[in-house]
Amino acid sequence: MSNSGVETPDLSAVLKQAFGFSSFRPLQREIMEDSLTGRDVFALLPTGGGKSLCYQLPALIRTGLTLVVSPLIALMKDQVDAMEAIGIPATFLNSSLDAEESRRRLQKLEEGHYRLLYVAPERLVFSDFLQDLKRWNIALVAVDEAHCISEWGHDFRPEYRRLAELRDVFPEAPILALTATATARVREDIIRQLRLKNAAVYVAGFNRPNLTYRVLAKGKAYEQVVDYLKGRPSECGIIYCQSRKTAERLAERLDQRGIRARPYHAGLGTEARSRNQELFIRDEVRVICATVAFGMGIHKSNVRFVIHYDLPKNIEGYYQETGRAGRDGLPAECLLLFGAGDTVKYARFIEEKPDPREQEIARRQLQQIVHYAESAVCRRVELLRYFGENTGGAGNCGACDNCLSPRTAYDGTIAAHQFLSCVYRIRQKSGFGTGMNHVVEVLTGADTEKIRRWKHEELITYGIGKENSRPQWAAIGRELIRKGLLRQTAEKLSTLQLTNEGRAVLEERKSVTLIEWTAPRPALSAASQAKTRRVGEIVCDEALFERLRRLRKKLADKRNAPAYLVFSDVTLRQMARDLPADEREFAVLSGVGEKKLREFASVFLSEIADHIQTTQRSNGDVL
């Protein structure tokens, strides 16, 4: 029994009947069960882990209205469309609606027509709106993207802080806080800021096993992207760019090259942004070139790749943005183009921040993402460790560039000793440390004003490293930091310091293994990747899958809806694998609930039967 006195029905039965799924993803059932008893819940599930279902399914069971706080208009519309596609009455209220449409929806809310209401946090601070909510029998408050409430998170939004007032307005309504990206510190802050009482805390693993992670040294970035996209002519994805100008120019050049692309950033007008997003969601455009303004909460399930054209600002943002790929559980790829120029560019932006504390945090975050990009160990392990998840050892995920094509290790003792000794002798002579660039200039025998002023040309380490280029020495220095032999401060004038371990390496002449500094590694072709990407893969009749995709697009266009709201790629690939012959067999497919069975079974079964007959005739089989 729930605290409302209503017996909780079989959640699995509701899951299949309404949503068409036969099983829950990890922790979904537990989160729903606790929430339905009236308990506050904090839930951290990875992007694509099914956060939305945790309040959507219970909304069908609860008496009253489920209030969903969502930060973006795009998210609201996307989720409401998805609910309507399976016959669940839901709506949103935001600035995109005209006065007449707003009045119509408000009237239906007064009549108790809807089960879910999506609103932006800004609307909740209006006293008139809070009075309306009191009349609408709020049964649950779901706070999506809850990390926005914490200043320690990567996407802090001050308007989220006002959400704590909902506890006073609806003291009996349970609160469900959901996020995909939160360190332990951010989790604690969310629970405190939202004033959750005796909250049940659920933290799922951050691992997205269907994603392949790759980092490619940035050369001619545009040509690298074109080559990548040419190998995936039927796939769609997002390319994240650091600036609006880059996003627009890249989209324009790709479109001129015959690759349908559009830009998306906060500088575009609302109408243009909505139009470009809609074209992407409806598979009319293959590629969106976007700044980080795009993507939060977009539930397009068939994004097959995410490319970072520029270096992300921090690991949380990178993880969330890569999480747009493969939400349907099928294999997808995340490619990061990394160049030293990006690091310099971000360092300049950091210097422009007025708050010294913000500068320090940003420098630390930049160091962490550079460490990730240059690391030679498993990228999945690096990401999971960052979020505090125990990986159980070094491991080999088999789905990142460092595991698929390991770099060569070599005896780097001499180079390591030279670098460490140079750091030591600079501090010994001058009484202070210097940054990475200065150490590299001393090693390579540069003639600079600082070297002359501080008389560092007199050091015995001056010019001893001329056999390596400056980028090579910088890469060696950063690897020594990753190995814990050096420490890099995060102040404005960042300096290098020997750690106890680094001092021991010098004093005891210990050997040091380094990873070979290499030229840019080529991205694998789509054909090569197909041999390595296995998690989530559904092997099927590809010709039939393409026929079903075309049929899905036709049906979606007729309904003025995104194709994936008819059926996901997972459902289509299961059709093309299992070849259902009647409604009973069709009903067991993932994503086929009662409404979609009634609406679509006959037309898809007919297409499958026609394909089988056509294939048999072309093969000369006797019918």
pLDDT digit string (tens) for 19-41? 999 999 989 999 999 999 999 99
Bridge partners of 138? 65
Q: Does domain 409-515 have CATH number 1.10.340.30?
A: no
pLDDT at 520: 45
Nearest to 209, CA basis, from 345, 416, 25, 70: 25
Containing 488, the helix (H) or strand (E) segment is strand 486-488
Structure tokens at 327: 């939400």
C-alpha 128/C-alpha 109 separation (Å) is 15
Nearest to 368, CA basis, from 327, 414, 316: 316
C-alpha 230/C-alpha 205 separation (Å) is 34
| Residue 494 confidence class, pLDDT cut points 50, 70, 90 | confident
First to last CA, the chain: 57
Position of tokens 């309040």? 55
The average pLDDT across 341-349 equals 79
Which class is domain 11-203? alpha beta
Structure tokens at 252: 């324009």
Position of tokens 């649950």? 140
Higher pLDDT, 183 or 543: 543
**Burial (Cβ within 10 Å: 0-12, 13-18, ≥19) of residue 63:** exposed
| Residue 154 confidence class, pLDDT cut points 50, 70, 90 | low
Buried b (16+ CB within 10 A) or exposed e, 275-289: ebbebbbbbebbbbb
Amino acid at 211: L
Residues of the chain with CATH 1.10.150.80: 538-618
C-alpha 135/C-alpha 115 separation (Å) is 14
C-alpha 146/C-alpha 69 separation (Å) is 9
pLDDT at 507 > cutoff 80: yes
| Residue 297 confidence class, pLDDT cut points 50, 70, 90 | very low
pLDDT at 112 > cutoff 60: yes
Percent of the residues in the chain that have a pLDDT greater than 70, as a whole number: 92
pLDDT at 528 > cutoff 70: no
Q: What are the strands of the beta sheet with 303-308, ordered from one edge?
A: 211-217, 332-338, 303-308, 236-240, 287-290, 261-264
> Measured between alpha carbons, how far is residue 321 from residues 83, 295, 298, 372, 448 in Å?
24, 7, 11, 15, 41
Residues of the chain with CATH 3.40.50.300: 11-203, 211-404
| Residue 201 confidence class, pLDDT cut points 50, 70, 90 | very high
Nearest to 38, CA basis, from 174, 147, 204: 174
Nearest to 361, CA basis, from 321, 316, 322: 316
| Residue 492 confidence class, pLDDT cut points 50, 70, 90 | low
Helices (H), 60-98: 73-85
Nearest to 221, CA basis, from 110, 115, 287, 311: 311
Residue 458 has φ and ψ, to the nearest 5°, of: -85, -10
Higher pLDDT, 306 or 145: 306
pLDDT at 392: 64
What's the topology of domain 211-404? Answer: Rossmann fold (3.40.50)
Position of tokens 């990747």? 529
The average pLDDT across 384-401 equals 80
Residues of the chain with CATH 1.10.10.10: 409-515
What three-state secondary structure class fits 322? Answer: helix
pLDDT at 549: 95
Nearest to 276, CA basis, from 255, 297, 306: 255
pLDDT at 49: 74
CATH superfamily of 538-618: HRDC domain (1.10.150.80)
Residue 292 has φ and ψ, to the nearest 5°, of: -70, -5
C-alpha 346/C-alpha 42 separation (Å) is 34
The average pLDDT across 124-132 equals 81
Task: Report the mean per-residue pLDDT for the chain.
Answer: 88
C-alpha 408/C-alpha 424 separation (Å) is 28
pLDDT in tens, 596-613: 999 999 999 999 999 999
pLDDT at 622: 45
Indicate the length of the chain as a whole number.
Answer: 623
